[in-house]
Amino acid sequence: MTGRPAEFPEGRLSVRGRLAHDKASRSAAGQDFGRVVRQEPWAVFRPESAEDVSALVRFAAAQRRAVAPRGRGHSTFGQAQAADGIVLDLSGLRAVHEVGPDFVDVDAGASWRSVVLATVPRGLTPPVLTDYLGLSVGGTLSVGGVGGVTHRHGMQTDNVLRLDVVTGDGVARTCSAHTESTLFHAVLGGLGQCGVITRARLRLVPAPARVRRYKLYYATPRRLTADQRRLLASDRFPYLEGQLKPDASGWRPRLEAASFFSPPELPLDESLLDDLGHERGSEEIEDLSYVDFVDRLTSSEADLRATGEWFHPHPWWNAFLPGSTVDDLVEEVAARVTPDDIGAGGALLLYPFTRRRLTTPLVRTPDDPVVFLFAILRTAPPDQPTAVEEIIRLNRALYEQVRAAGGTRYPVGTVPFDRADWVRHFGTAWPSLHEAKERYDPHHVLTPGQGIF
């Protein structure tokens, strides 16, 4: 690429000596959790401060070299990669700063686990947590961030008070819903297109003392979604999810709900479960500390690392479905993707949300009062690229089906998308994203792995 280094002299001077070009660094940064796409960068940069990020982005802009911020690399389709560009590895920028009475300031590379471990001892928690806490704050704020309480509190992007951002011109800026709101709304759910989040002020709420977790099993997915709707309407549980797990007889629909409580008061199981349509006697109920509950996937991660499956290809698929068409779509997908296809460790996730809680303009969800996250979590066999290619073709076909039925893509998964797809995906939000891109990242250096600009 040609450059005009004189345009950004200070960045050029301070950064060049700190770029890692060694094979191990480039190889690690050219890979992600998906293990589907592999694009080695020209170099990797590990900032220790927002000033470092600023200097790096100035340097890259001068060189016209692409920059991909990388949180924890849990993308599945190269979203945090930069072929022949620079991966900005934020894993070292991970401090949890001030914990206030109702907010916490954290560096973008901090994991949600470290946020929880810093806030819960003070009786506070971010209202919305992803199921898995090993994701970075910047990584999920760039996409949305959904969990079991999204039906009450929206996504993680709906619970941000302020952001420090380095935009694509290398300028460090602070933005919120009231100050530089254009940038704020272009960065939250903005897939890294306009700026690198370096620090976030997150909303905190009182942390529950204890959690009672309920797993209820259903004869059919329709009965599961019927109860999910009933529970949304009654707002009985603060936490509500669901999934279809493979078992010997096919798909086994399961509702997962939780009540938060402080002993000696206890949840009243009978009144919570009485009018539900699950298979009687199938209930699994356990009490946990809040931290054990929100960090419950740590043991699964350890198991998958031990068997090696954690390192196999994960061509995951994620979409938001309108409540009005969810049942037909789930049945069609469950017929096309069999339990054998996704393996014992896989699942189809089905989480219900109230749409009015979802307020982030760039996180695109269907126009329906009730919206479901629907995801296919599958592990493909290693060293079988044709099997992965086949899954990607199916993922695209399923996306077409979902779009025709009014659904949208949750863009964390493995679906090939071209520019026309993105324009359609963002819909009425496209002009403002496009305008923000031209304003904040005029040289289009940021986050090429999304394939938007």
Ligand X SMILES: Cc1cc2nc3c(=O)[nH]c(=O)nc-3n(C[C@H](O)[C@H](O)[C@H](O)COP(=O)(O)OP(=O)(O)OC[C@H]3O[C@@H](n4cnc5c(N)ncnc54)[C@H](O)[C@@H]3O)c2cc1C
| Residue 21, phi then psi, degrees to nearest 5 | -110, 5
Sign of CA dihedral 266, 270, 276, 279: positive
Is the CB of 29 or the CB of 120 nearer to ligand X? 29
Indicate which single residue of 66, 80, 273, 319 sits in contact with ligand X (rule: CB under 6 A). Answer: 80
Question: Is residue 143 close enough to count as binding ligand X by CB under 6 A?
Answer: yes
Pick the stretch among 140-148, 172-180, 231-239, 268-276 that binds ligand X (CB under 6 A): 140-148
Give 281's Cβ-side CA count (13 Å radius): 0
Pick the stretch among 4-12, 56-64, 112-120, 142-150 that binds ligand X (CB under 6 A): 142-150
Question: Is residue 412 close enough to count as binding ligand X by CB under 6 A?
Answer: yes
Question: Is residue 77 close enough to count as binding ligand X by CB under 6 A?
Answer: no
Question: Is residue 70 close enough to count as binding ligand X by CB under 6 A?
Answer: yes
**C-alpha distances in Å from residue 397, one per residue of 131, 338, 372, 414, 419:** 27, 16, 19, 12, 17
What is the C-alpha to C-alpha distance for residues 319 and 365, in angstroms, rounded to an integer?
Answer: 9
Minimum distance from residue 151 beta carbon to ligand X (Å)? 14
Question: Is residue 408 close enough to count as binding ligand X by CB under 6 A?
Answer: no
Q: What is the separation of C-alpha 352 from the centre of its chain, rounded to a whole number of angstroms?
A: 16
Indicate which single residue of 124, 135, 186, 358 sits in contact with ligand X (rule: CB under 6 A). Answer: 135
Query: How many residues line the site for ligand X (CB under 6 A)?
Result: 36
Question: Is residue 142 close enough to count as binding ligand X by CB under 6 A?
Answer: yes
Residues of this chain, 82-111, that bind ligand X according to CB under 6 A: 90, 108
What is the C-alpha to C-alpha distance for residues 69 and 64, in angstroms, rounded to an integer?
Answer: 16
Is the CB of 334 or the CB of 363 nearer to ligand X? 363
Instruction: Please state whether the peptide bond connecting residue 264 to the residue before it is cis, i.e. omega within 30 degrees of 0.
Output: yes
Amino acid found at 453: F
Question: Is residue 440 close enough to count as binding ligand X by CB under 6 A?
Answer: no
Amino acid found at 174: T
What is the CA angle 157-404-353, rounded to 5?
Answer: 35
Residues of this chain, 184-243, that bind ligand X according to CB under 6 A: 191-192, 196-197
Q: Which residues bind ligand X (CB under 6 A)?
A: 32-33, 68-75, 79-80, 90, 108, 130-132, 135-136, 138-140, 142-147, 191-192, 196-197, 412, 447, 449-450
